[in-house]
A and B are shown apart, each in its own frame.
Chain A
Amino acid sequence: MLWDTLARPDLWAATLAMATPIALPALGGTFSERSGVVNIAMEGIMLIGAFFGVLFSFYTHSAWLGLLGALLMGALISALFAYVTVSLGADQVIVGMSINIFAAGLTAFLLNTIFGYGGTPRETPALPNLTIPGISDIPFVGPILGSQNVVVYLMFFLVFASHYFLFHTNLGLRIRAVGENPQAADTAGLNVRNLRYLGVMIGGMLSSLGGVYLALGLLNSFEVNMSGGRGYIAMAAMIFGKWTPFGSLGAALLFGFATALSMILQGGGISSNIIQMLPYALTILALTGLVGRSTAPAADGIPYNPNK
C-alpha cells in the first residue's frame, strides 16, 4: 500500500511543485540571515511578488515582464525592511510582522480595487511549463522531472548558484562575515550596512520569486493570502537546512513531500494531517539539538551599531 503510493510518479512531481514555493523563500532567508538579518517578512514579500507578478503580467501581456516587475517590487519592499532594521536598528521580528500584515492588506486591497471582486483575469499570461525532450520520455523519471514549470528548473539553478555565491565568491565570504561578527568585518574594512542591505534584498527577490511561482506558475491567478504561511514554513526549512542552500532545498523537499503525500492520501489510511506535522516537529528537534543541531549565524538578528 505504502510502496504503491511511493511508486506513483505524480507524488514526486507534486513534491517538486510543492517544494518550489518553499525552497525559494528559504533560499532568500538564507541570504538574509547569513548577512545577520532575521527576515520574517518573507511571507509578506511572497504576497507582494505574487500580486505584482500577476498585475505586470496582465498589463504587459508578458509573464516574463510580470516576473521582472515582481522581482523589483520584492527588492523595493525588502529595501524598506532593510532601511528600518539595518539603518534604524528596529526590532527585526516586529518589523517583519508588520510588513506581513501590510502586504496581506495591500495586495488584497489592490486586488479588489484594480480587478474588482471577481479575482484576477483568466487571460493573464502564465509562466510556461517546460518539456525537456530527453528526460520526459524516460519512464517514472519523465513525469517527475521532464515537464515542470520553468520556475522549478530555475529554482534548482538558483540553489546551485546561491551555493556558489555564498561559499565560493569573495562577496559571499563578506556577507557571511557580516552575519557572524559585524564588528570584526567592520575593522577588516567591510561596509556592514551595504552588505546587509544586499543580503536582505537578494532574500527579498528570491522570496518574491516564490510568490511569482504560486501566482503565475501554479495557479495563474492571485488570491487573497495565497502564500498561506509558506514564508513562515520557509523559515523552518531554512533552519532545518542549517542556513545553507542545499540544506534549504532538502528541507523544502521534505516539506513538499509531506504536503504532496497528504494530498494523495486524502481520505485514506494514515492521516495526512499527522504527516504534515512532522516537518515542524523535526525543525523543533533540530533547534534543540536533538536531531543534528542547527546553529544560526552568530550575529543573526542583532542590529549593528558601529559607534558602540
Chain B
Amino acid sequence: MNKIIKELVTPFVAIIIAILIGACVMILTGHNPLTAYGALFSGAFGSTVNLSNTMANAIPLILSGLGVAIAFKAGLFNIGAEGQYWIGSMAAVWIGYSVHGLPPILHISLAVLVSILAAGLWAGIIPGLAKALVGAHEVITTMMMSYIAIFLSHYMLENGPMMQPGFVPQSPVILPSAMLGKIVDRTQLSWGLVIALVVCVIVYWLLYKTTLGYRLRAVGLNSRAAKYAGINVSFNLVLALFISGMLAGLAGVVQMLGVQHRLYDSFSSGYGFTAIVVAILANNNPFGVILASIFFAALSTGGQSMQLVSGVPAHLTDVISGIIIFLIASKDVISLVQKRWRRRHSLAPVKEA
C-alpha cells in the first residue's frame, strides 16, 4: 500500500502544480479558474454521455500507452506509436470492409489478429532489428517509420487500393460484422473498453508474472546482468518493440472497429504521441496507464466544454499536459517541492516543542 502511495506522489504533485499554473494563466487572461475547471470536470464526467465519451477517448490511449510503457520497460523509447497505430488502423479497416460472410466474432478476431501482427512487424522488423544489430537509435527509426506509415495511409486513401470513389479521401465503411458494439447508446463508448482493460491485465501479467516479462525487464534494467543470466539481449529488444507495436496497432483497430468504422485522411491521430505522455505520467505501470489515460482523455473532452462554458480556449489543456510531463521529466523540480513541503511539516512540531 505504501509503495502505491509513493508511486503516486510525483505524478500527483506534477498535476497539482500544472493545474495551479493553468489557474494563474486563466486569472491573467481574465477568466475565473473555478468556473473553468468546474466546466472542464463536468464536461468530462458530469453526465453519462460525457463520462462515456471520456472513457471512449481513453481506450486508444490505454492501448497505445501500454505499448509505449512495455517498450520503456525493456529500455526502449518507442516514439513511433503513432505510425504503428496507423498500420493497425489500415489493416483493420481493410479486413473490415473487404472480407465478407464471416460471423462477427470471427470477423473481428481476424481483423484484430492481422492488424496487430502488421503493426508489430512494422515496429519490430526495421527499428527492432536496426537497434539489435547495428545499434541505430530507436527514437529516430520509429519516428521515421511513423512518417512512412502516415504517408502510406495517404497513399492508400488518396490514390491507392483503399480509396473510396468520391471526392473525400476516405476508405469504405467496414461491414457491420466487423463493428464493435456500443456499451452506451448514442455515445462513442464501445466494448473496446473491455478489450483495453483486459489487455491491461494481460500486459501486467506478461510483465510481472511470466518469464518473458522477466526477460524484458531484466534487459531494460541491466542488460549486462541479463546477458550474464543467459538472456539473449538482442532478441528481446526486437521482441519488446514487436509487442509494443502490436499494442499501439491494437489501439488503431479498436478505434476503427469501435468508433470511426472507416479510415479518414489525416496527418495525425494524436493518440500515438499522447501515448508517450500517458506512459510517462503512469511511470510505465500498466494500471497507472489506465488512470493516466482517463486523465488525459478527460482533459481533452472536458476542454471542449470548458471553452464553451467559460470561454477559456480548450488548448489550455495541452499547456497543462506539457507542464506535467516537463515537471516529471525534470524530477529535481518535483523533489525540490517535496523537500520544501516536508521541511515545513517537519519543522512545525519542533517549534511547538
Which of A's residues lie within 8 Å of B, judged by CB?
Answer: 40, 84, 88, 90-91, 93-95, 97-106, 108-109, 111-113, 224, 228-229, 232-233, 235-236, 239, 267, 271, 273-274, 276-277, 280-281, 283-284, 287-289, 296
Task: List the B side residues contacting A104 at CB < 8 Å.
Answer: 315, 318, 322
Which one, B141, B273, B313, B317, contacts A287 given CB within 8 A?
A: B141
In the complex, the answer to whether B319 meets A276 with C-beta atoms within 8 Å is no
Partner of B140, one of A90, A94, A236: A236
CB-defined interface of B148-192 with A at 8 Å, one 1/0 digit per residue? 100110110011100000000000000000000000000000000
Please tell me the number of chain B residues within 8 Å of chain A, measured between CB atoms: 50
List 17 other contacts, CB 8 Å, given A98-B326, A267-B159, A277-B147: A97-B273, A97-B277, A101-B273, A101-B277, A105-B321, A106-B318, A109-B315, A109-B316, A112-B313, A232-B147, A236-B143, A236-B144, A271-B155, A273-B158, A277-B152, A280-B151, A288-B130
Taking CB atoms, residues of chain A closer than 8 Å to B141 are 284, 287-288
* Cα separation A97 to B77 with both chains bound (whole Å): 12
Report the separation of the CA atoms of residues A206 and B98 in the bound assembly, to the nearest whole angstrom: 48
Which of B126, B152, B320 has a CB less than 8 Å from the CB of A284?
B126
B158 to chain A, nearest CB (A): 7
Q: How far is the CB of A276 from chain B (nearest CB, A)?
A: 5
- Residues in chain A near residue B140, CB distance under 8 A: 235-236, 239, 283-284, 287
Which B residues have a C-beta under 8 Å from some C-beta of A? Answer: 25, 29, 77, 79, 126, 130, 133-134, 136-137, 139-141, 143-145, 147-148, 151-152, 154-155, 158-160, 267-268, 273, 276-277, 280, 313, 315-326, 328-333
Asked whether, in the complex, the Cβ of B267 is within 8 Å of the Cβ of A228, the reply is yes
Interface majority SS (helix, strand, loop, mixed), chain A: helix
16 examples of A-B residue contacts, CB within 8 angstroms: A94-B280, A97-B79, A97-B277, A100-B322, A101-B321, A104-B315, A104-B318, A104-B322, A105-B322, A271-B160, A277-B152, A280-B145, A280-B148, A283-B144, A284-B145, A287-B137
Report the nearest B residue to A282, measured CB to CB.
B144
CA distance in complex: A99, B273 (Å): 13
A289, B134: Cβ atoms under 8 Å?
Answer: yes
Contact of B267 among A93, A229, A287 (CB under 8 A): A229
Residues of B within 8 A of A228 (CB): 267
**Smallest distance from the beta carbon of A31 to chain B beta carbons, Å?**
18
Point out the residues of chain B lying under 8 angstroms from A103, CB to CB: 322
Contact status of A84 and B313, CB under 8 A, knowing A99-B322, A288-B130: no
Q: Is the CB of A273 within 8 A of B326?
A: no
Chain B residues with CB under 8 Å of A102's CB are 318-319, 321-323, 326
